[in-house]
Structure 1
Amino acid sequence: MHALIRPALLVASLAGACTLLFAAAGQAIPVAQWNWMDIAGEGGTALLAALWCLIVLSSRPDGRVTRLLAGGLACIMLGSWADCLDEMIDIERGAVWDNALESLLPLGMLVLTAGLVYWRHEQATLTDHMRKRERLFRSHRPFDRITQLADAAYLRQQLSLEARREHQAGCVLVLFDIDAFHRINREHGHAEGDRVLQAVAHMLLLNLRNEDLLCRYAGDRFAVLMPGLGEAEARDAARHLCHMVTSMRHHAAGRRVALTLRYG
């Protein structure tokens, strides 16, 4: 509920300022002359755009996509609301500010379109990330609670599938262990240990191919199934993964925690 307060105040302030501007600069049109169809259409558009703007601002983290989506919807809201107020308040013809407010409607559509384009790129990145997690499987399966990766049971299922496939080009299973993980748990607590597991899992995912499968095997051990690779290629890939984890700058209690992996 608290996440809605600031966006709601912002949207209400914009609509209120627009209303006050019209009230101060124009003359009220008699109710008998109001075009109720236009008022319902334009007012309804403004109301829905305001609602969508609230949903975007309250449900997404701040960033370029959020600002474009919310900004476009806010412009659509203001442009539609200005059109609606024109049906109830008579403004002097040629008023520049009135025309500027009404022109926010097409501008808002352009900004919203740009936001949707960037949102599409964002979704493509997330889909690719999830594809690496799921290895193109979207069925219900066992998963690890901490890392949200497949667990050892799912790995065994996939190993069985790989073994039964015909014309298999090769498949390598690599196991990774976090060095001195028990010390991290002892010195910083199990909650910090869970954060380390999540960070390492994320880094490994970012550096795997789409067809690779990453699982949390047990404890601080991760397993990567690499179909289509020979032993030498898998060894090079494993070295790269270890290097990327070592280059991470993980911090706990204000100081850096060095993370290293070993593979076998």
Structure 2
Amino acid sequence: MKTLIDLNADAGESFGRWRLGHDEALLPLVSSVNVACGWHAGDPATMRRSVELAKTSGTALGAHPGLPDLAGFGRRALALSPREAADACLYQYGALRGFADALGVGVTHVKPHGAFYGLTMRDPAVADAVADAVASVSTDLVVVLLAGPTADRIAKRGLRVAREAFADLEYDENGDIIIEPEPRPKDPRACAEQAVAILGGTVRTTAGTRVAVDADTICVHGDRPNAVEIATAIRERFADEGVTIAPMHDVLSAHRS
């Protein structure tokens, strides 16, 4: 079982007066945060607050580019060409980078959101374009993709990839995640158990079988109503198992050395 892992959260997803999640409580519990950049959620004020929270909590900061679909929270499918996908990533990364530079915080990674993430799973050309766009900014910048064939293929090209698994999502028989249209509370103990199983190299599918998974980072969704309780349960279980939580760059250096 792995004893070093990054724990990341999707956050910064409030918009204007509408509040989503409990970022102030969640960010200190994770080692990396993926901040919405205004297309599926987030706005300038929320982005600034998110960068400030990452800075004060010592959480590694990443961009979370989504599809241009505020009403659907970026979880409805839209068609993007590989070039459009690359440009969408760079545009949204640049928006977050402006706040990060102003506040003296580095941006360490980029993780597509929702249906955009799904595009990278289904279309190899989109995954390549996104990874190349991230690498064009800096070869040290990490792209986060679902652990499995796509992430492995990108890594073989010599690009910086964090292979991601999910503590609070179900998996199908192909090892793909099942994205919920509207996240509901999950049993924190069950999520912690799934996180530990991931460290052991497998995850249980909805059919009751197990599929192999090789992860560098495990995600908790900040828009889940009890995300703080889930992250707390995972941290407690990891402490019991002697597992260390560290930012993506540290984990990648250790796992791939």
- TM-score, length-scaled by structure 2: 0.23
More helix by share: 1
More strand by share: 2
Which protein has the larger Cα radius of gyration, Structure 1 or Structure 2?
1
- TM-score, length-scaled by structure 1: 0.23
Give the structure, 1 or 2, with the largest relative contact order (CA under 8 Å, sep 6 or more).
2
